[in-house]
Amino acid sequence: MPLSNTKPNILYIMTDQQRFDAMSAHGGLAQTPHLDRLSQEGANFHGFFSNAPVCVPSRCSLFSGQYTLTHGVLENDGRLSEDSPFLPKDLAENGYSLGYFGKNHLLDDQDPRLSIFDAFDICEDANCVKEDLREVRQEFLDYRKARGERLGEFGSWASADFHDYPEEVTAPYILREKAIQFIDQHDRKDPFCVVLSFEDPHVPHVAPKRFEATHPPEEMPIPSYPEETFQNKASRYDIKRIAQGSADATDSDKQKYIAVYHAMISWIDENVGAVLDHLEKTGLKEDTIVVFTSDHGDFAFHWGMCKKDLDLVDHLLHVPGIISWPGKIEPRDIPASQTLAEAIDLFPTLLDFAGIDIPKESQGKSLKRFLLNETDSHKQLVYSDICYEWMKNPYKDYDAFIDDWKKASVSNEPHLLRWTAPFNVPGDHSRAVRSQQWKYIWYHDGHEELYHVEEDPEEFFNLAIDPAYADTLAAMRQQLKEAPASKAKTEAS
């Protein structure tokens, strides 16, 4: 039965560290029939980009509608400030029942805005399951922690494993059940917003054993790349590749990483499907906007690297962006050649569809007119930023970095590298602007990169050093200087 209210329900589904191509509908290795169905029932943006390549800055942008330079969180050590716009707050003030289930990495544990949620559960301990499952849930958490410890011991690829633990004690299953329960118990006279925030496929990489048959490691392709791609990139890439231990990973290590990473997404897909099926079964599908995205991607051994890093590359910034509302939003694939969109646009889009005023502090642009076919294009440029303005990687090679790290680890003197892991290479304050054809990255130390992403989507060949592209380089520099994010504090020099 349709709801009596006029505002749509919102199901906001997020994964952590899912590349755009990690869906079968996007040509990837994960088996995602339910996400594929969602993409076929809604607007599937092939040119959707995160505003930051790591968790917290990206999530703060998603939920505030602001670029990282504006909300001020440019590394994972921060949280969204209390004076920033916050999507759930606007929804709560306009009659929405709010449920948030899963990974936070957004608000501080003592943030008073947590009180606006009718239910908020990050599901990190054994108490989030029924009593008879708590012992095995704790065993699974201990196992998962042990796999995570291998990252520092062996390398950033080394947590990957298939396990035999009951699936109902793993986070994807628990979160789906929490979401379904909230949907069933909320007062139907009010619209709901459920944020379903999966912590996977972030490390540690573990997936149910049955997925090994559908994602056999020995059949996983290992991405190739020209070794010279590192010659004209910022020095941190080659340093990070070595610091991660990626250079020491065998082919079988890489294949297992790739297999488990995509298996985790396939497992998420099954649980997303259960929630989508429940909306249909309960008659809520027609009244519900469903959003699916991820905070950032994963190298997945492209460029010989894994996990994520403080790098503004499309492997980490290009993520799924799907918006579905049956009967309201026309189902279609939207190629990047038609239009681009970015994470900060989801904030004003959802408020716009709900008939709620968009805060003037929001820097995103509502997609509503585009989704309703009132305009043919949305954006031609998207932006990303990472690391605080004072941050600059001082190391030109791995030996210089690791020598300094070893000295800092045994010293009592203040040091940039003290208390850090040997795979945490200092970040460079850097900024990027991307069009449908070109991408420009500026680094604090003055290094520049220019890629013809339409022809070189892997960003192998830095054209900033080629005099033949001087005019394009100058034009993209100017685009970055004029970026909306530049209103905050920093401009490219």
pLDDT tens, 4-31? 458 999 999 999 999 999 999 999 999 9
Q: To the nearest whole number, what is the mean pLDDT of the chain?
A: 95
Residues paired with 99 in a beta bridge: 119, 194
**At residue 490, does pLDDT exceed 50?**
no
Q: Are residues 391 and 463 in the same domain?
A: yes
- What amino acid is encoded at 280 in this protein? E
- Give the Cα separation of 170 and 315 in Å (integer): 27
Q: How far apart are CA 46 and CA 75, in angstroms?
A: 26
Mean pLDDT of 198-225: 98
Give me the percent of the chain exceeding a pLDDT of 90. Answer: 87
CA–CA dist 258, 386 (Å, integer): 26
- Check whether residue 264 and residue 153 sit in a common domain: yes
Q: What confidence category does residue 130 fall into, taking pLDDT thresholds of 50, 70 and 90?
A: very high
- Quote the DSSP letter at residue 220: P
Residues 345 and 415 in one domain: no
Residue 62 lies in a domain: yes
Percent of the chain topping pLDDT 70: 97
**Angle, to 10 degrees, between the axis of helix 251-281 and the axis of helix 33-41?**
50
Instruction: Please compute the mean of the pLDDT values over residues 222-249 and round it to a whole number.
Output: 90
Cα distance between residue 357 and residue 48, in whole Å: 24
Task: For residue 154, give every residue at least 6 positions away whose Cβ sits within 8 Å of its Cβ, in sequence order, or none.
Answer: 245
Q: CB neighbours of 77 closer than 8 A, spacing ≥ 6?
A: 56
Work out the average pLDDT over 463-478.
98
403 CB-near residues (< 8 Å, 6+ apart):
none
How crowded is residue 149: how many other Cβ atoms within 10 Å of its Cβ? Answer: 12
Number of domain units in the chain: 2
Stretch 376-403: mean pLDDT: 94
441 pLDDT above the threshold of 80:
yes
**Residue 304 and residue 422 share a domain:** no
Would 3 be classed as within a structural domain?
no
**Residue 492 located in a structural domain:** no
Instruction: Decide if 1 is inside a domain.
Output: no
- Nearest to residue 393, comparing CAs of 345, 347, 446, 351? 446
Residues 367 and 416 grouped into a single domain: no
* Domain extent at residue 407: 385-487
Task: Give all strands (DSSP E) within 238-355, no chain letters.
Answer: 288-294, 321-324, 332-334, 341-342
Which of 380, 402, 433 is the endpoint of a domain?
A: 380
Residues 396 and 326 occupy one common structural domain: no
Residues 226, 129: Cα–Cα separation, whole Å: 48
The answer to whether residues 359 and 407 belong to one domain is no
Band (139; pLDDT cuts 50, 70, 90): very high
- pLDDT category of residue 488 using cuts at 50, 70 and 90: very low
pTM for the predicted model, two decimal places:
0.96
Question: Which pLDDT value is given to residue 246?
Answer: 86
Q: Are residues 178 and 327 in the same domain?
A: yes
26-48 confidence digits (pLDDT tens): 999 999 999 999 999 999 999 99
What is the pLDDT, as a whole number, of residue 457? 97
pLDDT the model gives residue 422: 86
- C-alpha span between 461 and 457 (Å, rounded): 10
Strands 439-443 vs 430-434: parallel, antiparallel or unpaired: antiparallel
C-alpha to C-alpha distance for 486 and 345, rounded to whole angstroms = 17
Residue 111 vs residues 57, 121, 197, 452, 454: alpha-carbon distances, Å: 17, 14, 18, 43, 43
- Rounded Cα–Cα distance for residues 317 and 450 (Å): 16
Residues 167, 55: one domain? yes
Residue 432 lies in a domain: yes
Q: What is the pLDDT of residue 424?
A: 86
For the stretch 48-65, pLDDT in tens is 999 999 999 999 999 999
In a domain, 2, yes or no: no
In a domain, 250, yes or no: yes
**Domain stop point among 325, 353, 380:** 380
Cα atoms in the 13 Å half-sphere on the side-chain side of 212:
12
Domain end: 380, 398, 425, which one?
A: 380
**pLDDT score for 418:** 72
**Are 371 and 393 contained in the same domain?**
no
CATH of the domain at 420: 3.30.1120.10
Burial class (CB in 10 A: 0-12, 13-18, 19+), 148: middle
Ranking 164-168, 390-394, 468-472 by mean pLDDT, the lowest is: 390-394
* Residues 235 and 200 reside in one and the same domain: yes
Q: State the CATH number of the domain containing residue 79.
A: 3.40.720.10
Could you report the per-residue pLDDT of 266-310, keeping only the tens digit for each? 999 999 999 999 999 999 999 999 999 999 999 999 999 999 999
Positive or negative CA dihedral for 366, 371, 372, 373? positive
450 by DSSP, 3-state: which?
strand
Residue 489, pLDDT > 60, answer no
Q: Are residues 187 and 48 in the same domain?
A: yes
Asked whether residue 425 is assigned to any structural domain, the reply reads yes
